[in-house]
Amino acid sequence: MKSYVSFDTLAWYSKYLGLPLSIIGLAMVKIFDCLGSNKRRSALQGKIVVITGASSGIGEALAHVFHEYGSKVVLASRRKSELDRVKDDLMSKKLPTPTEEPVVIELDLADLDHLDAFIQKVYNICGHIDILINNGGVSHRGAILHTKMDVFKQIMCINYFGAVGLTTAVLPKMVERKSGHIVFISSVQGLIAIPDRAAYAASKHAMQAFGDSLYSEMHQHNVSVTVVSPGFVKTAVSLNALTGSGDAHGVMDKNTAAGFSSEYVAMKILDGVVKKEKDIIISQFLPNLAIFFRHFSPSLYFWFMARRATKTA
């Protein structure tokens, strides 16, 4: 992994601490960076990590960071050609320590009847699964009044039931081995809901609740559970979002375009997995503020959301 230490860091230390202290500060940053890198590699080297939605966005970025820290990644999504591209990118990296070749397996999360077969295929190839990252999903743009029931069903099927199906398929062997980690890539909208995102928010609320219950039940079996709630991330999520009619939204939202990079979010997730954190919120100030108001001043929160709905109608 690239070091986060830069000339800007050195310049900051020089300005406020003077050159001698800046050199010490820079050395300390490098030491902590090295220690963090060693801890990640120690925790992840040789681990079998299944990543859904690995053909783009956060899933692709997760594939890169877990691969770079020594994990054997299983890349899953509907688009095999894109998975092959991601695999080629991973194989082209020159890493300090050997890493096993990634595995590519096609997966349609909406095809609930074949999720068990997908997991069995992973077992046949890899022997076991250490970490399952439920990342694949689809978003929504449209008012409830103008959204077809089929769209609500499709989004819930992919985002929620797809993750539940894969999770329940891997749990028996994880419980048997007394080891494993289930990760759900939810959203800030799994904690709050905003206008014109009802189908997506509902699926992520369901994922959050499922993750909370799973955490409690799996604690006795030494199986870890992490729910990640990102805010705005610069991916194709809004381009691929379904409208109320079921068509692709096809528009890059302003907030999405200005969001965190997938690489930044992926590293935050990786560190959270290494630390076995229960909840990870990776968000900007305004979404975090909305979460605060929803819990501590709901009347004000709903007043703001009503104004937003009226403005965008």
CA distance 10 to 238: 38
The pLDDT-based confidence of 248 (bands split at 50, 70, 90) is confident
- Confidence check: pLDDT of 36 > 80: no
Mode of pairing for the β-strands spanning 181-185 and 131-134: parallel
Query: H or E element: which one contains 242?
Result: strand 242-243
**DSSP states along 29-45:** HHHHHHHHHHHHHHHHT
Burial of 140 (0-12, 13-18, 19+ CB in 10 A): buried
pLDDT, tens only, 153-194: 999 999 999 999 999 999 999 999 999 999 999 999 999 999
Spatial neighbors of 224 by CB under 8 A, at least 6 apart, are 180, 181, 182, 218, 276
Q: Summarize the confidence of residues 58-75 as an average pLDDT.
A: 97
Instruction: State the Cα torsion 61-65-68-72 to the nearest 10°.
Output: -90
The pLDDT-based confidence of 296 (bands split at 50, 70, 90) is very high
- Find where tokens 């959301």 sit: 305
The Cβ of residue 303 has, within 10 Å, a number of other Cβ atoms equal to: 12
- Confidence check: pLDDT of 146 > 80: yes
Q: Domain coordinates of the chain in residue numbers?
A: 1-44, 46-284
Residue 104, beta-bridge partner list: 75
| Helix boundaries (H) for the chain | 7-17, 19-44, 57-68, 80-91, 115-126, 149-156, 162-177, 198-218, 237-240, 254-257, 262-274, 285-296, 298-312
Give the dihedral sign, CA 5/10/15/20. Answer: positive
Spatial neighbors of 101 by CB under 8 A, at least 6 apart, are 72, 87, 91
Q: Are the C-beta atoms of residues 6 and 13 closer than 8 Å to each other?
A: no
237, two tokens: 């999520």
CA distance 121 to 127: 9
Give 260-263's long-range contacts (Cβ < 8 A, gap of 24+): 260/230, 260/231, 260/232, 260/233, 260/234, 260/284, 261/61, 261/233, 261/234, 262/57, 262/58, 262/60, 262/61, 262/233, 262/234, 262/235, 263/61, 263/64, 263/65
What percent of the chain has pLDDT above 70? 88
Q: Are the C-beta atoms of residues 131 and 183 closer than 8 Å to each other?
A: yes
Output 297 or 34, whichever has higher pLDDT: 297
pLDDT, tens only, 212-241: 999 999 999 999 999 999 999 998 888 889
The pLDDT-based confidence of 41 (bands split at 50, 70, 90) is confident
CA nearest to 184, candidates 162, 200, 201, 208? 208
CA distance 225 to 173: 15
pLDDT of residue 3: 47
Is 123 an active-site residue? no
CATH ID of 46-284, from 3.40.50.720, 3.30.540.10, 3.30.479.10, 3.40.1160.10: 3.40.50.720
What percent of the chain has pLDDT above 90? 75
Catalytic residue, from 4, 200, 215, 301: name it. Answer: 200
pLDDT, tens only, 67-99: 999 999 999 999 999 999 999 999 998 888 778
Q: Are the C-beta atoms of residues 181 and 223 closer than 8 Å to each other?
A: yes
